[in-house]
């Protein structure tokens, strides 16, 4: 959602200014002695870890000491890539959306912390060199090779490093699971007799479209609806995990696909072995309200679906109802929350008495935050969203009547068989 300086952006019916004259966002400055390390990337952003020379008798704000000579920041540098619509105000826009829309909706405690920082252009040459080196070392996805930073962006984001141990008393180490909750409620335009959720329908369509690529191997993906599945057993009263029921197995399968170990570790400590953390993770998943809240917001902000909104430039939708900027803004918020990432962190500490919130007396505690929440640009993406939905409907992917039939592990289909 790029915009000119001081331009207003309507988000969910309200006007938010990227750089309001009376309440300009606080913007820090990158230190000149910072060292960056390439950590990872997506299609839209690149992430770098930051370290600085240690200063005696000084504790930098938002940092943790990694050795006697350097300190590693508890936040990562996240910079947009060169792409249409990306400009100097891009991160200002993202942060205005984060503070003005997402925080009120979800609460600061549920979001990965972030701050604005300037001085990025001074590092562009060095950072692009890191990316070029990653290209040569084949450390990047094939489809991302050759992509670089947006040249005009000097203000970027510092985002909380969710692979670092939280500021927990006695914290020794941590392990982080990251996954996308995706569509936690069915598409508003799915057939009433649908046997697949929107995520699993899209997964089946993707496999079908790749039939001409025999070398591509598709793994059956777990279904996100398990995150909000009804809890009916007696073990759900206190969140115990018996380790063998269908929901517990499905929950663990969903979140354990992507375990992230902090780079400094050679191996996680024994207490953070997957077999040890599974009970406390599943207990947290069975008792948290986070995903039910996320599902409710997705439904509230997208009651009609992309097909219920006319073309971005039209004055009426397909039913003849007026198309408002607010309707499209609300849709893009729903789509943003369908593509966010959940960072679930398990911290092993030397003390722990259990608090009923995913923590146990053995020193393992669980917390989670949502990140990767850059606002989707509905005006650019609406046509694509609509075409995708039509393809799922026409192809029979919701009703599992596509030919040939694709195997999925959809929770909805399991409940209807």
pLDDT tens profile 281-316: 999 999 999 999 999 999 999 999 999 987 544 545
The candidate with the shortest Cα–Cα distance to 382, out of 305, 304, 302, 312, is: 312
Burial class (CB in 10 A: 0-12, 13-18, 19+), 112: buried
> In the prediction, which pLDDT does 354 show?
46
Q: Is 134 or 234 the better-scoring residue by pLDDT?
A: 134
The beta strands (E) that lie in 24-170 are given as: 27-29, 35-41, 45-53, 63-65, 70-73, 75-80, 114-118, 155-160
> In the prediction, which pLDDT does 215 show?
52
- CA–CA gap between residue 45 and residue 269 (Å, rounded): 31
Q: Is 188 or 69 the better-scoring residue by pLDDT?
A: 188
- Residue 318 above 90 pLDDT? no
Residue 259: its H or E element = strand 259-260
Burial class (CB in 10 A: 0-12, 13-18, 19+), 72: buried
Q: How confident is the model at residue 62 (pLDDT cuts 50, 70, 90)?
A: very low
Relative to beta strand 27-29, strand 114-118 is: parallel
- Residue 90 above 60 pLDDT? yes
pLDDT digits over 159-218, tens only?
Answer: 999 987 666 667 777 889 999 999 999 999 999 999 999 999 999 999 998 765 655 556
User: How high does pLDDT run on average in the chain?
Assistant: 82
Mean pLDDT, range 120-139, rounded to an integer: 95
Q: 117 forms bridges with which residues in the sheet?
A: 28, 156
Q: How confident is the model at residue 151 (pLDDT cuts 50, 70, 90)?
A: very high
- Residue 96 above 50 pLDDT? yes
- Residue 361 above 60 pLDDT? no
pLDDT digits over 12-38, tens only?
Answer: 333 333 333 346 789 999 988 899 999
Q: Is 232 or 340 the better-scoring residue by pLDDT?
A: 340
Q: What would the two tokens of residue 47 be? A: 């992430």
- Residue 335 above 60 pLDDT? yes
- CA–CA gap between residue 354 and residue 347 (Å, rounded): 13
- CA–CA gap between residue 289 and residue 297 (Å, rounded): 12
Q: 173 forms bridges with which residues in the sheet?
A: 348
Ranges of H-type helices in 165-260: 198-209, 246-255
- Residue 127 above 50 pLDDT? yes
CATH topology of domain 25-53+70-161: Phosphorylase Kinase; domain 1 (3.30.200)
Mean pLDDT, range 270-281, rounded to an integer: 80
Start-to-end Cα distance in the chain: 43
Q: What is the DSSP string of 374-392?
A: PPP-HHHHHHHHHHHHHHH
pLDDT digits over 370-396, tens only?
Answer: 999 999 999 999 999 999 999 999 999
- CA–CA gap between residue 335 and residue 298 (Å, rounded): 8
DSSP code for 185: S
Q: Where are the domains of the chain?
A: 25-53+70-161, 163-234+241-308+319-352+359-416
């Amino acid at each position: 959602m790029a915009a000119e300086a001081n331009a207003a952006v309507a988000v969910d019916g309200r006007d938010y200014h990227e750089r309001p004259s009376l309440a300009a966002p606080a913007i820090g400055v990158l230190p000149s002695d910072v060292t960056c390390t390439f950590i990872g990337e997506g299609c839209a952003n690149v992430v770098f870890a930051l370290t600085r020379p240690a200063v005696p008798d000084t504790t930098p704000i938002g940092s943790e000491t990694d050795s006697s000579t350097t300190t590693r920041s508890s936040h990562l540098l996240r910079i947009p890539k060169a792409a249409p619509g990306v400009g100097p105000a891009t991160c200002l826009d993202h942060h205005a959306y984060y503070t003005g829309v997402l925080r009120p909706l979800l609460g600061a405690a549920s979001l990965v912390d972030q701050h604005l920082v300037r001085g990025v252009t001074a590092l562009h040459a060095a950072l692009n060199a890191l990316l070029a080196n990653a290209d040569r070392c084949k450390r990047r996805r094939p489809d991302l090779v050759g992509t670089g930073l947006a040249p005009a962006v000097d203000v970027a984001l510092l985002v909380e490093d969710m692979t670092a141990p939280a500021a927990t008393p006695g914290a020794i180490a941590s392990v982080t699971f990251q996954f996308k909750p995706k569509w936690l409620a069915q598409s508003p335009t799915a057939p009433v007799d649908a046997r697949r959720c929107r995520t699993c329908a899209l997964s089946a369509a993707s496999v079908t479209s790749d039939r001409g690529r025999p070398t591509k191997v598709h793994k059956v993906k777990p279904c996100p609806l398990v995150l909000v599945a009804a809890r009916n057993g007696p073990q759900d009263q206190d969140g115990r995990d018996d380790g063998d029921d269908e929901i517990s197995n499905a929950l663990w399968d969903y979140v354990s696909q992507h375990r992230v170990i902090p780079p400094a570790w050679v191996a996680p400590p024994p207490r953070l072995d997957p077999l040890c953390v599974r009970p406390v993770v599943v207990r947290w998943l069975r008792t948290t309200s986070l995903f039910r809240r996320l599902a409710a917001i997705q439904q509230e902000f997208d009651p009609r679906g992309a097909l219920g909104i006319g073309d971005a430039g039209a004055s009426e939708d397909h039913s003849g109802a007026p198309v408002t900027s607010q309707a499209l803004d609300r849709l893009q918020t729903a789509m943003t929350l369908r593509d966010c990432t959940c960072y679930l962190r398990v911290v092993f500490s030397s003390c722990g008495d259990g608090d009923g919130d995913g923590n146990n007396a053995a020193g393992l505690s669980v917390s989670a935050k949502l990140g990767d929440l850059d606002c989707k640009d509905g005006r650019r993406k609406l046509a694509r969203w609509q075409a995708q939905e039509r393809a799922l409907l026409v192809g029979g992917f919701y009703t599992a009547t596509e030919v040939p039939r694709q195997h999925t592990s959809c929770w909805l289909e399991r409940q209807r068989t």
